Structure 1
Amino acid sequence: MQEWRRGRAARKADWAVRKAEWRAAQKRRRKSGEDPDHGCGPMAPSNAFALLPWLLLGMGAISNVIKGETPNPWIGALGLLLFNSLYITLVFRAFDRRAREAASTRWCLAALGAVTCALALAYGGNWLLFFPLWGLATGAVIRGRLLGPVMFVVTALAGAIAGLDEGWDTLGIAYGTLVSGMVTAAILALSETVKELRETRQELARAAVDQERLRFSRDLHDLLGHTLSVIVVKSEAARRIAPRDMDAALGQIADIESVGRQALTEIREAVTGYRETSLAAELDRARGALTAAGIEPVVRQSGHPLPPQAAALLGWVVREAVTNAIRHSGATTCEIEVRSTAERVRLVINDNGNGVGSSTPGSGLTGLTERLAAAGGTLVGGPAPGPGRGFRVTAELPVENPETAENEESR
Structure 2
Amino acid sequence: MSWMRGIGGRGRASRAGRPFRKAGAERFEAERGSACEGDGATPGNPGPPPTGFALLPWLLLGMGSVSNLLQGGAAQPWIGGTGLLAFNSLYVYVTFRAFRKVTREARSTRVALVLMGAVTCALAIGYGGNWLYFFPLLGLATGAVVRGPWLGRTALALTALAASVSAVRAGWDAVNVAYGTFLSTMVTAAILSLSEAVRELRAAREELARRAVEKERMRFSRDLHDLLGHTLSVIVVKSEAARRLAPRDLDAALAQVTDIESVGRQALTEIREAVTGYREGSLATELDRARSALSAARVEPVVRRSGPVLSPRTEALLGWVLREAVTNVVRHSGATRCEITVDGTADLVRLTVSDDGTGACPVDPGPGTGGTGGTGLKGLTERLATAGGSLRAGRTPRGGFEVRAELPAEAVDRTETAV
Name the TM-score class by shorter chain.
0.7 to 0.9
Q: Which amino acid counterpart does residue 369 of structure 1 have in structure 2?
A: T
Query: Which residue number in structure 1 is paired with residue 409 of structure 2?
Result: 399
Q: Does 1:256 pair with 2:260? A: yes
Secondary structure of 2:289 counterpart? helix
Query: Which residue number in structure 1 is paired with residue 388 of structure 2?
Result: 376
Q: CA deviation at 1:47?
A: 4.8
Query: Which residue number in structure 1 is paired with residue 333 of structure 2?
Result: 329
Deviations 1:328-374 (A, max 9, x none): 11110101111143222111111111111274111211111122221
Query: Which residue number in structure 2 is paired with residue 203 of structure 1?
Result: 207
Secondary structure of 2:306 counterpart? strand
1:7-406 equivalence runs, <5 A: 28=33, 41-42=46-47, 46-357=50-361, 359-360=364-365, 361-384=373-396, 386-388=397-399, 390-400=400-410
C-alpha distance in structure 1 between counterparts of 2:166 and 2:36, whole Å: 59
Secondary structure of 2:247 counterpart? coil
C-alpha distance in structure 2 between counterparts of 1:102 and 1:28, whole Å: 42
C-alpha distance in structure 1 between counterparts of 2:381 and 2:286, whole Å: 18
Distance 1:197 1:172, change over 3 A: same
In the superposition, the TM-score normalised over structure 1's length comes to 0.84
Paired residues, what number? 374
Deviations 1:8-38 (A, max 9, x none): xxxxxxxxxxxxxxxx99x725988999x99
C-alpha distance in structure 2 between counterparts of 1:399 and 1:317, whole Å: 15
C-alpha distance in structure 2 between counterparts of 1:29 and 1:288, whole Å: 49
C-alpha distance in structure 2 between counterparts of 1:103 and 1:32, whole Å: 41
Q: CA deviation at 1:149?
A: 4.1
Q: CA deviation at 1:203?
A: 0.5
Secondary structure of 2:357 counterpart? coil
Distance 1:195 1:355, change over 3 A: same
Q: CA deviation at 1:132?
A: 1.0
Q: CA deviation at 1:74?
A: 2.9
C-alpha distance in structure 2 between counterparts of 1:236 and 1:204, whole Å: 47
Deviations 1:172-196 (A, max 9, x none): 2223222211221122112211211
Secondary structure of 1:303 counterpart? coil
Q: CA deviation at 1:154?
A: 2.5
In the superposition, the TM-score normalised over structure 2's length comes to 0.83
Structure 1, 156-165 or 304-313: larger mean CA deviation? 156-165
C-alpha distance in structure 1 between counterparts of 2:54 and 2:180, whole Å: 18
Q: Which amino acid counterpart does residue 372 of structure 1 have in structure 2?
A: L
Secondary structure of 1:251 counterpart? helix
C-alpha distance in structure 1 between counterparts of 2:38 and 2:101, whole Å: 37
Q: CA deviation at 1:122?
A: 1.4
Distance 1:368 1:47, change over 3 A: same
Q: CA deviation at 1:266?
A: 1.1
Q: Which amino acid counterpart does residue 410 of structure 2 have in structure 1?
A: E
- 5+ residue gaps in structure 1? 1-23, 402-411
Q: Which amino acid counterpart does residue 147 of structure 1 have in structure 2?
A: L
C-alpha distance in structure 1 between counterparts of 2:82 and 2:148, whole Å: 34
C-alpha distance in structure 2 between counterparts of 1:207 and 1:304, whole Å: 36
Secondary structure of 1:381 counterpart? strand
Distance 1:73 1:193, change over 3 A: same
Q: Which amino acid counterpart does residue 136 of structure 2 have in structure 1?
A: P
C-alpha distance in structure 2 between counterparts of 1:174 and 1:272, whole Å: 63
C-alpha distance in structure 2 between counterparts of 1:116 and 1:382, whole Å: 77
Contact 2:38 2:44 in 1 (8 A): no
Distance 1:284 1:101, change over 3 A: same
Q: CA deviation at 1:235?
A: 1.5
Structure 1, 107-116 or 145-154: larger mean CA deviation? 145-154
Q: Which amino acid counterpart does residue 59 of structure 1 have in structure 2?
A: M
Structure 1, 212-221 or 344-353: larger mean CA deviation? 344-353
Distance 1:34 1:185, change over 3 A: closer
C-alpha distance in structure 1 between counterparts of 2:325 and 2:156, whole Å: 70
Secondary structure of 1:393 counterpart? strand
Percent of aligned pairs with the same amino acid: 64
Distance 1:31 1:209, change over 3 A: closer
C-alpha distance in structure 2 between counterparts of 1:177 and 1:327, whole Å: 79
C-alpha distance in structure 1 between counterparts of 2:216 and 2:86, whole Å: 57
C-alpha distance in structure 1 between counterparts of 2:324 and 2:45, whole Å: 52
